[in-house]
Amino acid sequence: MQRSTFRIVLAVAALGAIGCADEGVGDPCIPETVPCNALGEKCGYKASESYIEATSVQCKSRLCIVYKLDNKTNGAIPSDPRSLCEDQKQRQDGCVDNEALAKSVYCTCRCDTGGVKSGIDTCTCPDGFTCEPVLNLGGPGIVGSYCVAKSSIAAD
């Protein structure tokens, strides 16, 4: 009797571990809040920086990253992931193409705390992603490294 109870507990624990392992890293997401200037114009992100939205309901981990999103304006116009370009002439409104969006905006998880003590678990990055330092400022629940697509790092 004890042996079968042990097997059931072991099976439930194994299934639970499998369910928790999938953080949805790489799943598509679009940040709900995109920074704009004081007039509410020129919304978007700088191509040289990275941002984490920590409340994304689109992601299993609740973390949506915008990692150095580039709209091919050499930083002159912020990149807006909510606006897809239909043609090259449209770039002045900050739009991005599908390739840039897929390469730089996706669900992520925190893979290292950067030495900051916090009660939040970290994850292991899946194939195609690497653990990269993204945030060095902020509270202990968000500072650290995140899973970043290797394809977006190769472009650095």
Check residue 121 and give its pLDDT.
Answer: 83
Check residue 88 and give its pLDDT.
Answer: 62
C-beta of residue 146 within 8 angstroms of C-beta of residue 65: yes
C-beta of residue 145 within 8 angstroms of C-beta of residue 111: yes
**What does the pLDDT look like over 33-53, one tens digit per residue?**
999 989 888 899 999 999 999
Low-confidence ranges of the chain (pLDDT < 50): 1-20
How high does pLDDT run on average in the chain? 82
Tokens of 115: 């030495």
Check residue 156 and give its pLDDT.
Answer: 52
Give domain limits for the chain: 24-154
**Which of 65, 48, 67 has its CA nearest to residue 109?**
65
Which one-letter amino acid corresponds to residue 9? Answer: V
Tell me, yes or no, if the pTM score tops 0.85: no
